[in-house]
Structure 1
Amino acid sequence: MRKWIVGAGLLYVLYGLFFYWYLFLTGDSSVPEGLKGTSADPATFMNQRELMLTEEYSKIKDFLFFVRIPFEWFLFFILLIAGLSKKMKHWAEQTSKRRFIQIAVYVFSLFLIVTAASLPLDWISYQFSLEYGISTQTTASWIKDQVIDFWISFPLTAGVVMVFYWLIKRHEKRWWFYAWCLTVPFTLFLFFLQPVVIDPLYNDFYPLKNKDLEQHILKLADQADIPANHVYEVNMSEKTNALNAYVTGIGANKRIVLWDTTLNKLDGSEILFIMAHEMGHYVMKHVYIGLGGYLLLSLAGLYVIGTIYKWMISRYGSRLHIAGKSDLAALPLLLVVLGVISFAVSPFTNAVSRHQEKAADQYAIELTENKEAAVSTFQELSKAGLSEANPPFLVKIFKYGHPTIMERIQNVEKASNE
């Protein structure tokens, strides 16, 4: 057990050292020679202090991102190899004879351990965002969000785990397929619920206060043949200086949402460009395409996860103190397999997302016919969030669901020349 723990710890340290070396010492985020002096060059729209802060903050943020991902895998491995997961299961079984209560108790204990162990990294990330002027959130508000995260994630996860163990007992060989069948209505339900139940727990949403701007946005929506009555704004300035807008929900609960920071820092033409971008997602049905793609990917993913989970238990079950696939103590192993698979496919899902975002940008350029507003919008997004215009390759493929700022501005310039 000690050798496995030391080996896993050493592997995690080497992983962290690799990304430190890659991000701080060798990762290339420089501006290509041919783009220097153009509108895509940060030196043309940022001052020296902003350039320095962007470089520093991006490296720290990216490093924390990569270190945070496998931290939970390492923690789950320790719980398994040390027999702690098995002890947690026995304790949960002593609390009640009812299986669903045992599962709820075990998941609650696991969530407490993960939350407590991850808190230092989350706190460090929060402090850096404060130090670099990205976050404006008070400590009390940050803690409140952590508590909300816990009490949303815990019951949802506990419910999913209960269904998982029920399926694996009833349908040992094809549990993954029946799980996917249940995933479809569950995902649709969450998509429908999020704008009106979950999101308001974190922030206040209300119809756009600037009625003149709203009329311009609705007129733009009418040009795009989009049925829209209201645009919503959210008071994100209490938490961040970054800018954003997005489309959320499905059916009657679909919303276009603007952060108030976006309203405060961008002019009318830039806001209209952002709105046109979000309308592009609607017109091209990206929400539904993304949802359909997710469901198809989850079908293949559940099959792969089920296969690896079964193989891991047959090969290492005794060493990890797992009695079988339906053993509650095996949950950390399932979460590790799920996490690794999700991380492995993220370059693919991010690439699809970047393609959709590029298409929405192109749609917005054509709808507004204002390329200058497009360029200035991307420049302001980069400045407000201290975002690198040209991040290193691994950062782009694993983190970026949007094209880089440099790519987005280049795409606008190409459109201008066509």
Structure 2
Amino acid sequence: MSRKWAIRGILLYILFGLVMYAYLFVWADSTIPENLSGSVADPSTFMTERELVLSEEYSNIRYFLSFLSTPYEWLFYLIILVTGASKLFENWAQKISRFHAIQSVIYVFYLSVVSFIAIFPFQYISHRFSIKYGISNETFQSWMKDEMIDFWIGYISMIIIVAAIYWVMKKSPKRWWFYAWLLFVPYATFFVFIQPIVIDPLYNDFTSLQDKELEKDILAMAEEANIPAEHVYQVNMSDKTNAMNAYVNGIGSSSRIVLWDTTLEKLSKDEILVIMAHEMAHYVKKHLYIGVAGYLVAALFGLWLLSKLLTRISHKYKDTLKITNWNQLSSLPLLLALLSLMLFFSSPVSNVIARYQEKSADLYALELTQDKEAAVSTFQKLTQAGLSQVNPPTLVKWFFYTHPTMLERLMMVDEFETSDQP
């Protein structure tokens, strides 16, 4: 039975891959409506013929890999379970120590290493394509350094989460999901607080913004928006990517305004101010707090649903999946697979909410700067730098777009009436 499950999983994955390939490369239409031809949203008006071709190629490849990666994760967890590898990792951990915390450290290490090796091909292929199409210029050594940082941060975080969840599973088998959520609330809040000051600097070097005149203008906008920031930071990203970005993150005293050096190099002062006004809008409109609160509410429901699915599936398919018990470490791949499934199929809903917030931030930036021309040129340059599709296929938008499409953003700017317009 276990072998049949593995074979069926592989066949379903291959079938899914063929369907997604046909959808992206044959059926999907990413052209803009005819009535928008020649408008500010028409990519042929601001991208070269070669950029248009590369944009279609790179976008289709990138999203094809994205669609394949998540089901591949599910297939990986299925194989780990049905082959008995998860049970083996649990046995090894139990032989080394009788303490639950130590067993969690050992088990999670085995699973993390195997997972890293299994998923590495996807990560590497994505990296190579980003280099081929000129999005990334990161060396293999630098890329591997970031991958290893990801691994260890993920490993340490997973140890804390797994040890806590499986401890409350054993202490309260019926209400573990609620107690796990209570533990998750301070953990998630603390993580948001420390990310800009502890985690982000592990990947890149942050320095004060060199352009003091620009910093003065940005801080003036921040003061108007009541953002408690005394400095603007720039981060060296040009060694890794040609894409552009800027952001405001952190809570309270950890708040940081950050610009990538690629943004500073490729955009004018007015364009940078449009981007910063957009990012500040998220702070002004409390999007971070709303997002965290919404995430915590969703996590409560998600953990409840996860508890029902985990116990039911682990009991029904205990022998096939080779699980000792639903609250033992050997069930972790099943828990992770179910969590991944829930996140994937709920992403269209969360993305709708995210796109609404991003649209409101765009409007705020336009109202604050009253500079339509700079907003249009900013979005056009972002499209060029990222080789993005102006009008992506529907499924791509549903599952991956946390921002409005560039078609929607450019048309919104074009239709916006500034205060000096009649």
TM-score tier, shorter chain, comes to: over 0.9
How far does residue 233 in structure 1 lie from its aligned partner after superposition?
1.1
Q: How does 1:297-376 map to 2 (within 5 A)?
A: 297-376=298-377
Return the letter of the residue paired with 1:282.
Answer: Y
Is 1:289 the equivalent of 2:287? no
Q: How does 1:66-81 map to 2 (within 5 A)?
A: 66-81=67-82
Aligned to 2:166: 165
Q: Secondary structure at the match of 1:416?
A: coil
Is 1:28 the equivalent of 2:32? no
CA distance in 1, matches of 2:407, 2:124: 31
Give the structure-2-normalised TM-score: 0.97
Aligned to 1:112: 113
Q: Secondary structure at the match of 2:138?
A: coil
Residues 345-389 of structure 1 deviation map (CA, whole Å, 9 limit, x = unaligned): 111111111000000000000000101100000000000000100
Residues 139-189 of structure 1 deviation map (CA, whole Å, 9 limit, x = unaligned): 100010111011100011011101111100111001000111111100111
**Which stretch has the larger CA shift, 311-320 or 264-273?**
311-320
Mapped contact 2:391–2:407 kept (Cα < 8 A): yes
CA distance in 2, matches of 1:302, 1:138: 40
Aligned to 1:236: 237
Q: Secondary structure at the match of 1:136?
A: coil
CA distance in 2, matches of 1:227, 1:119: 40
CA distance in 2, matches of 1:227, 1:309: 44
Aligned to 1:121: 122
Is 1:139 the equivalent of 2:140? yes
Return the letter of the residue paired with 2:272.
Answer: I
Residues 9-64 of structure 1 deviation map (CA, whole Å, 9 limit, x = unaligned): 00000111111011011111111111111000101100100000000000000001
Return the letter of the residue paired with 2:200.
Answer: D
Q: Secondary structure at the match of 1:206?
A: strand
Return the letter of the residue paired with 1:314.
Answer: H
How far does residue 112 in structure 1 lie from its aligned partner after superposition?
0.5
Aligned to 1:191: 192
How far does residue 225 in structure 1 lie from its aligned partner after superposition?
4.0
> Following superposition, which runs of at least 4 residues in structure 1 exceed 6 angstroms of deviation?
none
CA distance in 2, matches of 1:345, 1:376: 34
CA distance in 1, matches of 2:243, 2:417: 28
Is 1:208 the equivalent of 2:209? yes
Mapped contact 2:24–2:64 kept (Cα < 8 A): yes
CA distance in 2, matches of 1:137, 1:2: 41
CA distance in 2, matches of 1:314, 1:133: 50
Q: Secondary structure at the match of 1:258?
A: strand
How far does residue 96 in structure 1 lie from its aligned partner after superposition?
1.8
CA distance in 2, matches of 1:334, 1:227: 40
Mapped contact 2:229–2:255 kept (Cα < 8 A): no
CA distance in 1, matches of 2:88, 2:279: 50
Return the letter of the residue paired with 1:92.
Answer: A
| Structure 2: segments with no counterpart, 5+ residues | none
CA RMSD of aligned residues (A): 1.1
CA distance in 2, matches of 1:396, 1:170: 42
Give the structure-1-normalised TM-score: 0.98
Mapped contact 2:138–2:239 kept (Cα < 8 A): yes
Aligned to 1:54: 55
**Which stretch has the larger CA shift, 380-389 or 212-221?**
212-221
How far does residue 97 in structure 1 lie from its aligned partner after superposition?
2.1
How far does residue 226 in structure 1 lie from its aligned partner after superposition?
3.5
Return the letter of the residue paired with 1:142.
Answer: W
How far does residue 219 in structure 1 lie from its aligned partner after superposition?
2.0
Return the letter of the residue paired with 2:41.
Answer: A
How far does residue 222 in structure 1 lie from its aligned partner after superposition?
3.1
How far does residue 332 in structure 1 lie from its aligned partner after superposition?
0.3
Residues 82-108 of structure 1 deviation map (CA, whole Å, 9 limit, x = unaligned): 112111211121122222111111110
